[in-house]
Amino acid sequence: MLSLELLFDITLSVLLLILAGTALHVRHLYTGIVLFVAFGLLLAITWARLGAPDLALAEAAIGAGLTGVLLLAALARIGPEPPPRRPPARALSAGVLGVLVLILLIRAVLPLEQGPQPLPGLVSAHLDTSGVSHPVTAVLLNFRAWDTLLELVVLLLAVLGVRQLQPAGYKQAHAWTLLRAWSRILAPLSVIIAGYLLWRGSHAPGGAFQAGALLAAGIVLLRLAGLLPVLRWDDWPMRALVLMGIVVFLGIAAAGAWLGSGWLNYPPQWSGNLILLIEVAATLSIAASLSLLVIGEREELGT
Protein backbone atom coordinates (compact mmCIF):
# COMPACT_ATOMS: atom_id res chain seq x y z
CA MET A 1 0.00 0.00 0.00
CA LEU A 2 1.48 3.28 -1.09
CA SER A 3 1.20 6.20 1.24
CA LEU A 4 0.09 9.53 -0.17
CA GLU A 5 3.51 11.14 0.23
CA LEU A 6 5.20 8.32 -1.59
CA LEU A 7 2.71 8.61 -4.40
CA PHE A 8 3.52 12.31 -4.68
CA ASP A 9 7.24 11.57 -4.77
CA ILE A 10 6.84 8.97 -7.46
CA THR A 11 4.66 11.29 -9.56
CA LEU A 12 7.20 14.06 -9.18
CA SER A 13 10.16 11.89 -10.20
CA VAL A 14 8.33 10.38 -13.16
CA LEU A 15 7.29 13.85 -14.35
CA LEU A 16 10.87 15.07 -13.98
CA LEU A 17 12.23 12.16 -16.00
CA ILE A 18 9.62 12.63 -18.74
CA LEU A 19 10.29 16.35 -18.94
CA ALA A 20 14.05 15.85 -19.08
CA GLY A 21 13.78 13.23 -21.81
CA THR A 22 11.37 15.30 -23.89
CA ALA A 23 13.38 18.47 -23.43
CA LEU A 24 16.43 16.76 -24.86
CA HIS A 25 14.85 14.80 -27.67
CA VAL A 26 11.85 16.80 -28.86
CA ARG A 27 11.97 17.82 -32.53
CA HIS A 28 11.88 21.61 -32.24
CA LEU A 29 14.69 23.01 -30.15
CA TYR A 30 12.49 25.91 -29.04
CA THR A 31 9.99 23.47 -27.50
CA GLY A 32 12.88 21.69 -25.85
CA ILE A 33 14.06 24.87 -24.16
CA VAL A 34 10.57 25.69 -22.91
CA LEU A 35 10.30 22.15 -21.51
CA PHE A 36 13.72 22.58 -19.90
CA VAL A 37 12.46 25.68 -18.09
CA ALA A 38 9.44 23.69 -16.92
CA PHE A 39 11.87 21.00 -15.74
CA GLY A 40 13.72 23.63 -13.69
CA LEU A 41 10.49 24.78 -12.03
CA LEU A 42 9.51 21.21 -11.19
CA LEU A 43 12.99 20.67 -9.80
CA ALA A 44 12.42 23.64 -7.50
CA ILE A 45 9.28 21.92 -6.18
CA THR A 46 11.33 18.77 -5.68
CA TRP A 47 13.90 20.62 -3.59
CA ALA A 48 11.13 22.09 -1.46
CA ARG A 49 9.71 18.60 -1.03
CA LEU A 50 13.13 17.29 0.01
CA GLY A 51 13.41 19.87 2.76
CA ALA A 52 15.81 22.25 1.02
CA PRO A 53 13.96 25.57 0.70
CA ASP A 54 17.24 27.45 0.19
CA LEU A 55 17.82 25.42 -2.88
CA ALA A 56 14.26 25.74 -4.14
CA LEU A 57 14.60 29.53 -4.09
CA ALA A 58 17.92 29.45 -5.89
CA GLU A 59 16.73 26.92 -8.45
CA ALA A 60 13.58 28.85 -9.30
CA ALA A 61 15.56 32.04 -9.93
CA ILE A 62 18.71 30.57 -11.50
CA GLY A 63 17.84 27.18 -12.93
CA ALA A 64 14.49 28.12 -14.39
CA GLY A 65 14.71 31.86 -14.98
CA LEU A 66 18.23 32.85 -15.92
CA THR A 67 19.17 29.60 -17.68
CA GLY A 68 16.01 29.87 -19.77
CA VAL A 69 16.90 33.38 -20.89
CA LEU A 70 20.45 32.25 -21.68
CA LEU A 71 19.28 29.28 -23.76
CA LEU A 72 16.70 31.28 -25.71
CA ALA A 73 19.18 34.05 -26.43
CA ALA A 74 21.71 31.51 -27.67
CA LEU A 75 19.05 29.86 -29.84
CA ALA A 76 18.21 33.20 -31.44
CA ARG A 77 21.88 33.58 -32.37
CA ILE A 78 22.75 30.05 -33.40
CA GLY A 79 19.60 29.29 -35.32
CA PRO A 80 17.80 25.99 -35.92
CA GLU A 81 19.68 22.77 -36.27
CA PRO A 82 20.28 20.66 -39.35
CA PRO A 83 18.20 17.48 -39.55
CA PRO A 84 19.79 14.75 -37.41
CA ARG A 85 21.13 11.52 -38.75
CA ARG A 86 20.82 8.59 -36.42
CA PRO A 87 21.86 5.08 -37.28
CA PRO A 88 19.57 2.72 -35.35
CA ALA A 89 22.31 0.24 -34.44
CA ARG A 90 24.10 2.84 -32.39
CA ALA A 91 20.90 3.78 -30.59
CA LEU A 92 20.49 0.15 -29.56
CA SER A 93 24.04 -0.18 -28.28
CA ALA A 94 23.74 3.13 -26.44
CA GLY A 95 20.56 1.87 -24.79
CA VAL A 96 22.19 -1.39 -23.66
CA LEU A 97 25.22 0.48 -22.32
CA GLY A 98 22.89 2.90 -20.55
CA VAL A 99 21.05 0.11 -18.75
CA LEU A 100 24.34 -1.45 -17.63
CA VAL A 101 25.67 1.86 -16.32
CA LEU A 102 22.36 2.52 -14.58
CA ILE A 103 22.53 -0.82 -12.75
CA LEU A 104 26.07 -0.04 -11.61
CA LEU A 105 25.11 3.46 -10.51
CA ILE A 106 22.09 2.39 -8.52
CA ARG A 107 24.04 -0.41 -6.88
CA ALA A 108 26.64 2.15 -5.89
CA VAL A 109 24.19 4.77 -4.67
CA LEU A 110 21.65 2.70 -2.75
CA PRO A 111 23.92 1.57 0.12
CA LEU A 112 24.54 5.24 0.89
CA GLU A 113 21.01 5.51 2.18
CA GLN A 114 21.98 3.65 5.36
CA GLY A 115 25.34 5.33 5.71
CA PRO A 116 26.33 7.31 8.81
CA GLN A 117 25.67 11.03 8.77
CA PRO A 118 28.05 12.84 11.11
CA LEU A 119 27.93 16.31 9.56
CA PRO A 120 24.56 17.68 10.77
CA GLY A 121 25.57 16.96 14.36
CA LEU A 122 28.90 18.71 13.90
CA VAL A 123 27.26 21.73 12.33
CA SER A 124 24.64 22.09 15.04
CA ALA A 125 27.31 21.65 17.72
CA HIS A 126 29.29 24.60 16.35
CA LEU A 127 26.34 26.72 15.27
CA ASP A 128 26.56 28.94 18.36
CA THR A 129 30.03 30.17 17.48
CA SER A 130 29.24 30.85 13.82
CA GLY A 131 27.41 34.15 14.30
CA VAL A 132 24.23 33.10 12.46
CA SER A 133 21.45 30.73 13.42
CA HIS A 134 20.61 29.21 10.03
CA PRO A 135 22.86 26.18 9.46
CA VAL A 136 23.10 26.51 5.66
CA THR A 137 24.25 30.12 5.93
CA ALA A 138 26.69 29.14 8.66
CA VAL A 139 28.20 26.46 6.40
CA LEU A 140 28.30 28.77 3.36
CA LEU A 141 29.89 31.76 5.02
CA ASN A 142 31.72 30.44 8.03
CA PHE A 143 32.60 26.74 8.09
CA ARG A 144 33.20 26.41 4.38
CA ALA A 145 33.75 30.03 3.44
CA TRP A 146 36.51 28.89 1.08
CA ASP A 147 33.90 27.39 -1.23
CA THR A 148 31.96 30.59 -1.38
CA LEU A 149 35.04 32.69 -1.99
CA LEU A 150 36.20 30.44 -4.81
CA GLU A 151 32.72 30.40 -6.22
CA LEU A 152 32.79 34.15 -6.53
CA VAL A 153 36.09 33.72 -8.37
CA VAL A 154 34.48 31.20 -10.73
CA LEU A 155 31.69 33.67 -11.41
CA LEU A 156 34.25 36.37 -12.17
CA LEU A 157 36.14 34.05 -14.52
CA ALA A 158 32.92 33.22 -16.35
CA VAL A 159 32.11 36.91 -16.74
CA LEU A 160 35.59 37.57 -18.10
CA GLY A 161 35.41 34.60 -20.47
CA VAL A 162 32.00 35.61 -21.77
CA ARG A 163 33.25 39.13 -22.25
CA GLN A 164 36.06 37.92 -24.50
CA LEU A 165 33.56 36.24 -26.80
CA GLN A 166 30.81 38.77 -26.71
CA PRO A 167 29.39 39.63 -30.09
CA ALA A 168 28.42 43.25 -30.35
CA GLY A 169 25.01 44.16 -31.63
CA TYR A 170 22.31 42.39 -29.74
CA LYS A 171 19.08 42.38 -31.68
CA GLN A 172 16.69 43.42 -28.98
CA ALA A 173 13.03 42.66 -29.44
CA HIS A 174 10.63 45.53 -29.24
CA ALA A 175 8.89 45.37 -25.87
CA TRP A 176 5.16 45.74 -25.64
CA THR A 177 3.41 48.18 -23.37
CA LEU A 178 1.92 45.65 -21.02
CA LEU A 179 5.29 43.99 -20.46
CA ARG A 180 6.85 47.35 -19.70
CA ALA A 181 4.11 48.26 -17.25
CA TRP A 182 4.34 44.91 -15.49
CA SER A 183 8.14 45.05 -15.30
CA ARG A 184 7.85 48.46 -13.71
CA ILE A 185 5.86 46.88 -10.90
CA LEU A 186 7.81 43.63 -10.73
CA ALA A 187 11.32 45.08 -10.58
CA PRO A 188 10.89 47.02 -7.32
CA LEU A 189 9.15 43.98 -5.88
CA SER A 190 12.16 41.85 -6.76
CA VAL A 191 14.45 44.36 -5.03
CA ILE A 192 12.29 44.25 -1.90
CA ILE A 193 12.11 40.47 -1.87
CA ALA A 194 15.86 40.21 -2.47
CA GLY A 195 16.53 42.50 0.47
CA TYR A 196 14.19 40.46 2.62
CA LEU A 197 15.87 37.21 1.62
CA LEU A 198 19.28 38.66 2.39
CA TRP A 199 18.18 39.83 5.82
CA ARG A 200 16.40 36.57 6.52
CA GLY A 201 19.41 34.47 5.54
CA SER A 202 20.96 34.70 8.99
CA HIS A 203 18.17 32.81 10.70
CA ALA A 204 16.02 31.13 8.04
CA PRO A 205 16.25 29.87 4.44
CA GLY A 206 17.57 32.62 2.20
CA GLY A 207 20.86 34.42 1.86
CA ALA A 208 23.28 35.99 -0.54
CA PHE A 209 22.89 33.60 -3.45
CA GLN A 210 19.13 33.61 -3.56
CA ALA A 211 18.98 37.37 -3.11
CA GLY A 212 21.61 37.95 -5.78
CA ALA A 213 19.88 35.66 -8.24
CA LEU A 214 16.55 37.35 -7.64
CA LEU A 215 18.07 40.77 -8.10
CA ALA A 216 19.69 39.60 -11.32
CA ALA A 217 16.34 38.27 -12.52
CA GLY A 218 14.80 41.70 -11.90
CA ILE A 219 17.60 43.42 -13.81
CA VAL A 220 17.27 41.00 -16.72
CA LEU A 221 13.53 41.57 -16.85
CA LEU A 222 13.98 45.33 -16.94
CA ARG A 223 16.61 45.05 -19.64
CA LEU A 224 14.45 42.78 -21.78
CA ALA A 225 11.56 45.21 -21.43
CA GLY A 226 13.87 47.93 -22.75
CA LEU A 227 13.75 49.97 -19.55
CA LEU A 228 17.45 49.80 -18.72
CA PRO A 229 20.40 51.05 -20.74
CA VAL A 230 22.98 48.60 -22.04
CA LEU A 231 25.00 46.87 -19.31
CA ARG A 232 28.69 46.71 -20.05
CA TRP A 233 31.77 45.47 -18.26
CA ASP A 234 33.54 48.58 -19.55
CA ASP A 235 31.57 50.84 -17.21
CA TRP A 236 33.49 51.26 -14.01
CA PRO A 237 30.50 51.04 -11.61
CA MET A 238 29.70 47.66 -13.12
CA ARG A 239 33.28 46.49 -12.63
CA ALA A 240 33.27 47.78 -9.08
CA LEU A 241 30.06 45.90 -8.30
CA VAL A 242 31.34 42.66 -9.80
CA LEU A 243 34.66 42.85 -7.96
CA MET A 244 33.24 44.10 -4.67
CA GLY A 245 32.26 40.70 -3.30
CA ILE A 246 35.69 39.17 -3.87
CA VAL A 247 37.51 42.23 -2.57
CA VAL A 248 35.49 42.42 0.64
CA PHE A 249 35.77 38.68 1.18
CA LEU A 250 39.52 38.63 0.58
CA GLY A 251 39.99 41.74 2.70
CA ILE A 252 38.24 40.17 5.66
CA ALA A 253 40.12 36.90 5.18
CA ALA A 254 43.46 38.69 4.99
CA ALA A 255 42.66 40.89 7.98
CA GLY A 256 41.79 37.75 9.93
CA ALA A 257 45.05 36.11 8.92
CA TRP A 258 47.05 39.20 9.79
CA LEU A 259 45.40 40.17 13.06
CA GLY A 260 45.39 36.78 14.62
CA SER A 261 42.59 34.29 14.32
CA GLY A 262 43.66 32.93 10.93
CA TRP A 263 42.61 32.83 7.30
CA LEU A 264 38.80 33.01 7.10
CA ASN A 265 38.42 32.42 10.82
CA TYR A 266 36.32 35.20 12.23
CA PRO A 267 36.61 36.29 15.85
CA PRO A 268 33.41 34.93 17.44
CA GLN A 269 32.08 38.20 18.84
CA TRP A 270 32.34 39.83 15.40
CA SER A 271 31.33 36.97 13.18
CA GLY A 272 27.67 37.95 12.84
CA ASN A 273 28.48 41.42 11.56
CA LEU A 274 31.30 40.22 9.34
CA ILE A 275 29.06 37.60 7.76
CA LEU A 276 26.39 40.23 7.13
CA LEU A 277 28.97 42.51 5.50
CA ILE A 278 30.24 39.71 3.26
CA GLU A 279 26.72 38.73 2.39
CA VAL A 280 25.70 42.22 1.32
CA ALA A 281 28.82 42.57 -0.85
CA ALA A 282 28.39 39.09 -2.28
CA THR A 283 24.72 39.70 -3.10
CA LEU A 284 25.48 42.82 -5.11
CA SER A 285 28.42 41.12 -6.76
CA ILE A 286 26.46 38.00 -7.68
CA ALA A 287 23.58 40.09 -9.03
CA ALA A 288 25.94 42.17 -11.17
CA SER A 289 27.88 39.15 -12.45
CA LEU A 290 24.79 37.11 -13.28
CA SER A 291 23.12 39.97 -15.12
CA LEU A 292 26.33 40.63 -17.06
CA LEU A 293 26.49 36.94 -17.93
CA VAL A 294 22.94 36.91 -19.20
CA ILE A 295 22.49 40.28 -20.89
CA GLY A 296 25.90 41.94 -20.85
CA GLU A 297 27.03 43.60 -24.03
CA ARG A 298 30.14 45.13 -25.41
CA GLU A 299 30.52 48.19 -27.50
CA GLU A 300 31.75 47.76 -31.02
CA LEU A 301 35.48 48.25 -30.82
CA GLY A 302 35.82 49.56 -34.34
CA THR A 303 37.69 46.52 -35.63
Among residue numbers 37 through 56, which ones bind another protein (CB under 8 A)?
39, 43, 46-47, 49-52, 54-55
CB 39 to another protein: min, Å: 8
> By C-beta, is 117 or 259 nearer to another protein?
117
x/- mask, another protein, residues 163-182, rule CB under 8 A, reads --xxx---x-xx-x-xx--x
172 and 231 Cβ atoms separated by less than 8 Å: no
Q: Which of 27, 88, 117, 125 binds another protein (CB under 8 A)?
A: 117
CB 150 to another protein: min, Å: 9
123 and 137 Cβ atoms separated by less than 8 Å: no
Intra-chain end-to-end CA distance of the chain, in Å: 70
| Total of residues contacting another protein (CB under 8 A) | 105
CB 133 to another protein: min, Å: 12
Q: Restricting to residues 203-242, which ones interact with another protein according to CB under 8 A?
A: 207, 209, 213
Q: Which of 41, 75, 250, 277 binds another protein (CB under 8 A)?
A: 75
CA dist 215 and 187 (Å) reads: 8
> By C-beta, is 135 or 195 nearer to another protein?
135
35 and 62 Cβ atoms separated by less than 8 Å: no
The set of residues, in sequence order, having a beta carbon less than 8 Å from that of 264 and lying 6+ positions away, is 145, 146, 149, 252, 253, 256
Q: Which of 124, 129, 133, 273 binds another protein (CB under 8 A)?
A: 124
* φ, ψ dihedrals at 243, nearest 5°: -80, -15
CA dist 34 and 49 (Å) reads: 23
Residue 72, number of CB atoms within 10 A of its CB: 14
Q: Which of 38, 41, 45, 67 binds another protein (CB under 8 A)?
A: 67
154 and 251 Cβ atoms separated by less than 8 Å: no
Residue 287, number of CB atoms within 10 A of its CB: 25
Q: Is 21 one of the binding residues for another protein (CB under 8 A)?
A: yes
Sort 187 into a burial class: Cβ within 10 Å, 0-12 / 13-18 / 19+.
Answer: buried
Applying CB under 8 A, which part among 27-35, 226-234, 244-252, 262-270 lies near another protein?
A: 27-35
x/- mask, another protein, residues 127-166, rule CB under 8 A, reads --------xx-xxx--xx--xx--x--xx-xxx-xx--xx
x/- mask, another protein, residues 244-283, rule CB under 8 A, reads ----------------------------------------
